Amino acid sequence: AQSVAQPEDQVNVAEGNPLTVKCTYSVSGNPYLFWYVQYPNRGLQFLLKYITGDNLVKGSYGFEAEFNKSQTSFHLKKPSALVSDSALYFCAVRDTGGATNKLIFGTGTLLAVQP
Partner 1 sequence: DGGITQSPKYLFRKEGQNVTLSCEQNLNHDAMYWYRQDPGQGLRLIYYSQIVNDFQKGDIAEGYSVSREKKESFPLTVTSAQKNPTAFYLCASSLPPGTAFGGYTFGSGTRLTVV
Report the distance separating Cα 30 and Cα 52, nearest Å: 9
- Contact at 8 Å (CB) between 77 and 65? yes
DSSP letter for each residue of 15-26: TTS-EEE--EEE
Residue 103 interacts with partner 1 (CB under 8 A): yes or no: yes
- Contact at 8 Å (CB) between 91 and 4? yes
State the minimum distance, in angstroms, from the CB of residue 16 to partner 1. Answer: 29
State the minimum distance, in angstroms, from the CB of residue 44 to partner 1. Answer: 5
Beta-bridge partner residues of 68? 73
State the minimum distance, in angstroms, from the CB of residue 47 to partner 1. Answer: 10
Q: Which stretch binds partner 1 (CB under 8 A): 10-18, 57-65, 66-74, 87-95?
A: 87-95
- The residue ranges that bind partner 1 (CB under 8 A) are 9, 32, 34, 36, 41-46, 49, 51, 90, 92, 94, 99-103, 105-108
